[in-house]
Amino acid sequence: MENLKIKTKKAFGLNSYAKINLFLDINKKLENGYHDITTLFTEVDLYDKIKFSLTNNAELKIMSNIDNLNNQDNLIYKVGIFIKDRYSVQCGANIELKKNIPIAAGLGGGSSNAATTIKGLSKLWNLNLSITDMHEIASKFGSDINFFLEGFTALGENRGEKITKLNDIYIENILLINPNFPISSKEAYDLAQINKHNSNLSQLLKTQNPVFCFNKLEEGISKKYPTIRQTLNLLKDLGAKNAILSGSGATMIAFFNDPNTCIKAQKLISKQNFWSYITSTRRRQTNEHHRR
């Protein structure tokens, strides 16, 4: 590729959205150690901010408001170096990450950052990567990254990387709660029992009613971490029409009928010093989008 000559400073910011799993069931364990799953992803209006700046030197530099992300173990850095090497990019980039999404929380923050980095560097370095190219890169680094390249609402199959776009599912008055301890995806899947399958997905897609939301990982995690089960029960007592684990946890999702009940529940939960955030799912019709 031609070397980029920087005549004017090129810099821009992108939002890197969190996701929740409205549905997650495990079909079987695969020979490679991963699990074959069926999941319903949707983005929510909680996001990290990532700023990309073009530099003349060849260095890729990551800067974050979270100190332990300022290193080469960060998925942003790994993805960036891979793209730089694959396409023989001579320029460098400064990538500034403002982290708002809790880490190792079942909200896909790292995967979202990686997908946003693929899009951002394609634009910054004038690579014009096709969506097929982006998906191929994403599949090398983690199962959820492919979803974030598409965003909004989608079905995830196989390891979660096989993505089928779906019509928007719009849900308001969602309370996210994180008890401030991390759970790794590996641990969550190791704790799961694969037995009978859940049949709620078709009803959920048809009605868009959160009472049909389900997460197969919740049972095993709740047994090891009683705080999860206690908090989910408390949320239902506080008026949530359903409360489930998000992804591999430890973030929990509670769905409320109205904003007042949601806010009251958040105030009570906050007394336990848990992280919490009130949000809604994202819609493609951005002109109709309601922000909190």
Token pair listed for 70:
């300022």
Amino acid residing at 135: H
Tokens found for residue 135: 């998906």
What one-character DSSP code corresponds to residue 150? H
Residue 98 neighbours by CB under 8 Å, 6+ apart: 48, 49, 50, 64, 65
25 assigned to active site = no
- 19 classed as catalytic: yes
Q: Which of 19, 84, 119, 216 is catalytic?
A: 19
The 3-state DSSP class for residue 160 equals coil
Per-residue b or e along 255-290, where b marks 16 or more CB atoms closer than 10 Å to that residue's CB: bbeeeebbeebbeebeeeebebbbbbbbbeeeeeee
- Please confirm whether the linkage preceding 250 is cis (ω < 30° from 0): yes
Of 19, 251, 54, 33, whose CA–CA distance to 146 is shortest?
19
Q: Cα–Cα distance between 195 and 26 in angstroms, integer?
A: 9
Task: Tell me the sheet residues that pair with 158.
Answer: 37
Residue 92: which of 48, 125, 126, 58 has the closest Cα? Answer: 58
DSSP label at 289? P
- Contact indicator for 16, 120 with CB cutoff of 8 Å: no
Which residue among 25, 45, 48, 144 is the active-site one? 144
Comparing C-alpha atoms, which of 40, 46, 10 is closest to residue 22?
A: 40
Query: How many C-beta atoms surround the C-beta of residue 248 within 10 A?
Result: 26
Q: Are the beta carbons of 177 and 251 closer than 8 angstroms? A: yes
Give catalytic residues, as residue numbers: 19, 144
